[in-house]
Amino acid sequence: MNTILLGPPGSGKGTQGARLAGRLGVPKIATGDLLRAAVQNGTPLGTQAKSFMERGLLVPDDVILGLIGEVLASSAAAGGVIMDGFPRTIGQAEAVDEMLAARGADVTRVIVIDVPEDELIRRMLGRAAEEGRSDDTPETVRKRLAVYRDQTAPLIARYGTKGLVRRIDGTGGIPEIAARLDEALDR
């Protein structure tokens, strides 16, 4: 089961993805986490990614594909994966299809987490205060929401035509949202 969690920044993909990966016993591929680690470690890839992240822009596809190619092709991913914050562009989605097809697999489910924009802004600005995420400033938050609308939201229609999309309400408490997610996966 290869599941994609799709939703705007602040919709809870990270929280729900970690829980789901634990429950299913499969790895979670979270490109945002991988990129933050690369920036932290000062790797060449991290250096390349940093200025995009700070501006709320997407890191170019070739960098992202370099980052996840091996992970997705690895035997650890053979039993399925949870993709959180990836793919984020049509180009990345096409690459995912190819990488999975290369080992006879495909995308099984796409869960879209819906949260109203004012709630997203409130959550992200709260997260900036709590976790000190440098890309959670008011200006960057607005930029990231616009980037989501322009570049990532079109993936919903792409997977929708394949019948893979299940939408869930991402408001309320974490256990409540988790229950909706579990139900959507079985649907």
What residues act catalytically? 13, 88, 127, 133, 144
Distance of alpha carbon 24 from alpha carbon 171, whole angstroms: 23
Considering the complex, what minimum distance in angstroms separates the CB of residue 164 from ligand AMP? 18
Residue among 98 and 187 whose Cβ is closer to ligand AMP: 98
Query: Contact positions toward ligand AMP, by CB under 6 A?
Result: 9, 31-32, 35, 52-53, 56-59, 64, 85-86, 88, 92, 135, 144
Residue among 16 and 31 whose Cβ is closer to ligand AMP: 31
Considering the complex, what minimum distance in angstroms separates the CB of residue 161 from ligand AMP? 21
Distance of alpha carbon 106 from alpha carbon 3, whole angstroms: 9
What are the E-state strand segments in 23-142? 28-30, 81-84, 109-114
Q: If we measure between CA atoms, which residue out of 96, 91, 99, 28 comes closest to residue 62?
A: 91
Distance of alpha carbon 146 from alpha carbon 39, whole angstroms: 23
Residue among 126 and 179 whose Cβ is closer to ligand AMP: 126
Considering the complex, what minimum distance in angstroms separates the CB of residue 187 from ligand AMP? 25
